[in-house]
Amino acid sequence: MPKLIRITTVPMALKYLLPGQMKYMKANGFDVVMVSADGMEREDVVRNEGCEHVVIPLTRKITPLADLRSLWSLYRLFKKQKPDIVHSHTPKAGLLGMLAAKMAGIKIRIHTVAGLRFMTAGAMTRKLLVWMEKITAACATQVWPNSNSLLQYIKEHKLAKPGKLGMIGYGSSNGIDLRRYSTAALQADRIAAIKDQVRYDSGLIYLLTVGRIVKDKGIDELLKAFSAVHQDRKDLRLILVGVFEDELDPVSDEARKILREHPAIIQVAWSDHIEYFMHLSAMLLHPSYREGFPNALLQAGAMGCPVLCSRIEGNTDIVDDLETGIIFEVKNAGSLEEKLRYALQQPGQLKLFAGRLRQKIEKQFDQRFVHESLKNKYLELLSEQPTT
């Protein structure tokens, strides 16, 4: 039975970015071990995936001494476990995981690139983050961007050797569970509970954004555009589902003031039932500055919730402008405001776009297809290893 170690920096990534993937691999003949730092999601991940989890104290920040200790812990773990495959996801887990796996002599070392942090970093930080990405790629035997646009970016900027690059299926790290993200799967009592949570009024129009409340997610532009449109459309409400991460990438003081004081903004710290918010919303707004392959767009598309998103890598792999959704210019509150006003005037067209997006997701991003494609790639790589 081949042993597979899946490693992310924090258990939140295992729970929200890769749900069901480890369980699937275990059911299909792999001995799966999950690795991440400790966190509140750890127990849920172990229960949901049914796989062993090992805690290694990884951090999301640049912490040299702590990182060296984590590197040594990973090396010792790999020497003890002797996995056939180490597959990392998220930047810090990728850097330390690929380094440790190479040091430990693991033959198959895979890193999934799900976005590049340096795209929005300052000059000095950018240089460091680019260097980290190149080290990660140099230590990996396989580098898998999770979207075609990200793959092309990595090729153009020579972040990895072309021979190491590949992509699973049509993109996405995990696909979308269409058995869950479907209006047919919604439960009436939970719909009622979510309506109570947001004080739902059928006479209002609800807009939704999902993700961390940080600058990189375009929150400043979103709030500025929404405030402007709301002056003329008092029937609008904006639901933000996400938490602040001020220690990593704080929003501006102006955005914080709007969030605190605007009467038409509803903030929900987080929810494991995001599909219900999408069901109740007229559209999803996704103004992020950078993405790999955003799950929020897949989820919204599967739920038939129309999508307005920024023109960046990842988003444009899912949404075709004026075909399956509406695209506005990144970091541009004026463009977002203009497209939002247009969308509000074209409900019939939005519904048409949403239907086409659902069809695209069914054909290309069904989770069952992504999991099977990943499993087959693992087996192909294992078959290429010399027998001892």
Domains of the chain and CATH, by start = 3-175+367-383 (3.40.50.2000), 183-364 (3.40.50.2000)
| Structural contact between residues 63 and 247, judged by C-beta atoms closer than 8 angstroms | no
| Structural contact between residues 239 and 212, judged by C-beta atoms closer than 8 angstroms | no
Specify the pLDDT at position 60: 85
Q: Confidence class of residue 71 from pLDDT cuts 50, 70 and 90?
A: very high
Describe the strand order of the beta sheet including 283-286 as a list of residue ranges.
Answer: 265-268, 236-241, 205-210, 283-286, 307-310, 326-328
AA letter at 268? V
Q: Confidence class of residue 301 from pLDDT cuts 50, 70 and 90?
A: very high
Read off the DSSP letter of residue 157: T
3-state SS, residue 55: strand
Specify the pLDDT at position 120: 61
Per cent of the chain over pLDDT 70 is: 98
CA 272 – CA 262 distance, rounded (Å)? 25
Q: How far are the Cα atoms of 176, 224, 265, 309, 334 from residue 217, in angstroms, in the given order?
A: 21, 14, 17, 11, 16
